[in-house]
A and B are shown apart, each in its own frame.
Chain A
Amino acid sequence: MSTGLRYKSKLVNPEEKQDHEKQYVGFATLPNQVHRKSVKKGFDFTLMVAERISQTVEILKHTVDIEEKGVKLKLTIVDTPGFGDAVNNTECWKPITDYIDQQFEQYFRDESGLNRKNIQDNRVHCCLYFISPFGHGLRPVDVEFMKALHEKVNIVPLIAKADCLIPSEIRKLKERIREEIDKFGIKVYQFPDCDSDEDEEFKQQDRELKESAPFAVIGSNTVVEAKGQRVRGRLYPWGIVEVENQAHCDFVKLRNMLIRTHMHDLKDVTCDVHYENYRAQCIQQMTSKLTQDNRIESPIPILPLPTPDAETEKLIKMKDEELRRMQEMLQKMQQQMQDQ
């Protein structure tokens, strides 16, 4: 999948929503984001949440197959209970970076293998990092985690449990977090700029999205009655917080971003940037090992040079891309021939 392809979908017009809206998640817009041919195969999307709960860091995977309007999505959620909760949290992100690297390694191996038709993409496409609303900004753990992971995965920072903050506090906290992200050189996921030929409404939405980051979210699994309607929310003695009310929190923005507009870009950046970084590092390590061991055989049928310089690396990357594209086209042609 190339970066040349820009998402072209818009947010669903609110007027078009009907009763079934409540179940409508919105990833059916994904097809508008890619070539039609890929739709039938289905998509993989892996989401990782990093939050702090118990004592040792575990990695828990939940996989779910969702289908909406004929589009199939295999969603994997990777939970990381225990992150940051011990007394001594030194390198508590190591199990997480290890997991991400393992997925890259697996893909790398699959890619270099013989049967490349049905590679399963288990790479982590997005990491939701939950920042505590109780602090005054980022905590040392937050900074260290994000710096350890920003070159391995798309980090989307979120302000959790935002219903304990009043609007002015949320504004201040967001500003503070944005400043600190800049200050510490953390590379969080950047929303790509929309094309200049998009209409004004879309551009406005895009602007709002960028200005709202990091999103302040509230989650709820319970349905409460508010103003005669049943909504997802939290019932307090002083009022009801509605999760899907944009005046209450940024949940809707997050959902739209994650699923309706940027899902494909998240995957693209994972493939083209994070995975490529990993791959390049891997290959470099292997080649330096090659020169050390003076061995001829290697699992990868490329790189005759002992110490690849930047130019050659670029060339090799380009050739690799070409090779891959050709392989994909071949596959599609084969598929078509079979279908006929």
Chain B
Amino acid sequence: MTWIFGSTKGSADNKIEAAMSELVPEPRQKPAVPMKPVGINSNLLGYIGIDTIIEQMRKKTMKTGFDFNIMVVGQSGLGKSTLVNTLFKSQVSRKSSGWNREEKIPKTVEIKAIGHVIEEGGVKMKLTVIDTPGFGDQINNENCWEPIEKYINEQYEKFLKEEVNIARKKRIPDTRVHCCLYFISPTGHSLRPLDLEFMKHLSKVVNIIPVIAKADTMTLEEKTEFKQRVRKELEVNGIEFYPQKEFDEDLEDKTENDKIRQESMPFAVVGSDKEYQVNGKRILGRKTPWGVIEVENLNHCEFALLRDFVIRTHLQDLKEVTHNIHYETYRAKRLNDNGGLPPVTAETEENHESNL
């Protein structure tokens, strides 16, 4: 019995998400025609091999890698940079890229994008973290979300221009914001007017995932109450955060996402880039005079839930919703504005800062 095509893992995988897990590709010959192993009682004619598309896609993704652009928004000091570093277990935030940690609050909202390539299990991810220093930090914060909305739309515009080109690139570089983490200050009372304003405006153009920052400031009861209150306020204000109800594809999606929307979100998180020894294990945490807060301990905070949600289960979906819904909405609007004609591409593109 010979295997011509790949390893056991290949044909068993059904989800694209597995491409992101730790599979070590074994060196293999280029398959000729995928064949099921010939054995006693097998019916060779019955198997077509459509399911191998998954494996083909996986291989392609591994070769080309993929883009993921995550934006973080919130007042200064809420731990945005630390959280992003903790999420991707690397120093990927603006603050780690040589920016002065003690720099002053800028007078207007700035948009700073830093790119890194992270590799895991043979898969390359070009991660771009978009920071928004200055948001919500002034005395008068009216319309401080406008530069952010403008940036997001500019990325859609860039993509659109590439799409309508006559000679299009095989793979259009994707700088569109796939996910926006909005950091809620853990006051324990309610959302601030600015939180509501921002999310109302931006939930229509980008996937917003609200997180409660520095959750180690609340006891369990306070956390539960606060989360309930925040969920209620978001609902009352008609704010559709990701995963949006209207985009649930089927019952399975709906059930899974309902649970996340109604119970887990907003995730109350704690970030840390320091390791401590607890019970013989090295864990990421914060050491206080009264105990060690373990970042990945679900009894302490919901960081692990956020990480799994954003990276291990919904990463691809975040990109798809961005492309199929937010981008399409933008595109439709642009085409309508232009009388159904594609926009004229005249300017040259700006480039992201990138570590590639």
Chain A residues packing against B (C-beta within 8 Å): 53-55, 85-90, 132-136, 139-141, 144, 161, 163-164, 166-167, 176, 234-242, 247-248
Main secondary structure of the interface of B (DSSP, over half): loop
Contact check, A53 vs B189: say whether CB atoms are below 8 A apart: yes
Contacts of B190 in A (CB 8 A): 54
Contact check, A87 vs B139: say whether CB atoms are below 8 A apart: no
Which single residue of chain A is at the shortest CB-CB distance from B293? A238
Shortest CB–CB separation between residue B279 and chain A, in angstroms?
Answer: 13
A-B contact pairs, 14 of them (CB 8 A): A89-B141, A134-B75, A134-B77, A135-B76, A140-B137, A163-B216, A166-B286, A167-B288, A237-B220, A237-B299, A238-B291, A238-B300, A239-B291, A247-B289
The yes or no answer to B250 lying at the interface (CB within 8 A) is no
Select one of A88, A132, A134, A248 contacting B141, CB under 8 A: A88
Contacts of A134 in B (CB 8 A): 75, 77-79, 185-186, 213-214
Contacts of B193 in A (CB 8 A): 55, 85-87
The yes or no answer to B336 lying at the interface (CB within 8 A) is no
Contacts of B300 in A (CB 8 A): 237-238
Contacts of A240 in B (CB 8 A): 290
Which single residue of chain A is at the shortest CB-CB distance from B198? A87
Shortest CB–CB separation between residue A53 and chain B, in angstroms?
Answer: 6
Select one of B139, B217, B219, B299 contacting A144, CB under 8 A: B139
Tally of contacts, chain A with chain B, CB under 8 A:
93
Number of residues of chain B lying within 8 A (CB) of chain A: 40
Shortest CB–CB separation between residue A242 and chain B, in angstroms?
Answer: 8
With A and B bound together, what is the CA distance between A166 and B290 in angstroms?
10
Shortest CB–CB separation between residue A12 and chain B, in angstroms?
Answer: 24
Contacts of A139 in B (CB 8 A): 76, 105, 137
Contacts of A167 in B (CB 8 A): 288-289
Contacts of B141 in A (CB 8 A): 87-89
Contact check, B213 vs A140: say whether CB atoms are below 8 A apart: no
CB-CB under 8 A for A136 and B189, given A144-B139, A238-B294, A240-B290 = no
Contact check, B139 vs A89: say whether CB atoms are below 8 A apart: yes
Chain B residues packing against A (C-beta within 8 Å): 75-79, 102, 105, 137-142, 185-187, 189-190, 192-194, 197, 213-214, 216-217, 219-220, 286-294, 297, 299-300
Contacts of A235 in B (CB 8 A): 219
Contact check, B138 vs A140: say whether CB atoms are below 8 A apart: yes
The 8 closest A-B CB pairs, nearest first, are A239-B291, A164-B217, A239-B290, A238-B291, A135-B77, A134-B77, A88-B140, A237-B299
Contacts of A166 in B (CB 8 A): 286-288
With A and B bound together, what is the CA distance between A88 and B142 in angstroms?
6
Contact check, B213 vs A90: say whether CB atoms are below 8 A apart: no
Contacts of B299 in A (CB 8 A): 237
Contacts of B189 in A (CB 8 A): 53-54
Contact check, A90 vs B140: say whether CB atoms are below 8 A apart: yes
Which single residue of chain A is at the shortest CB-CB distance from B188? A161
Contact check, B142 vs A87: say whether CB atoms are below 8 A apart: yes
Contact check, B77 vs A136: say whether CB atoms are below 8 A apart: yes
Contacts A89-B140, A237-B220, A248-B289 known; 7 new A-B pairs at CB < 8 A: A54-B189, A87-B193, A140-B105, A164-B214, A236-B219, A236-B290, A240-B290
Contacts of A163 in B (CB 8 A): 216-217, 288, 290
CB-CB under 8 A for A85 and B290, given A134-B213, A135-B77, A139-B105 = no
CB-CB under 8 A for A164 and B289, given A53-B187, A141-B139 = no
Contacts of A236 in B (CB 8 A): 216, 219-220, 290-291, 293
Shortest CB–CB separation between residue A232 and chain B, in angstroms?
Answer: 14
Which single residue of chain B is at the shortest CB-CB distance from A163? B217
Residue picked from A85, A89, A164, A242, most chain B C-beta under 10 Å: A164
Contact check, A239 vs B213: say whether CB atoms are below 8 A apart: no
Contact check, B217 vs A161: say whether CB atoms are below 8 A apart: yes
Contacts of B105 in A (CB 8 A): 139-140
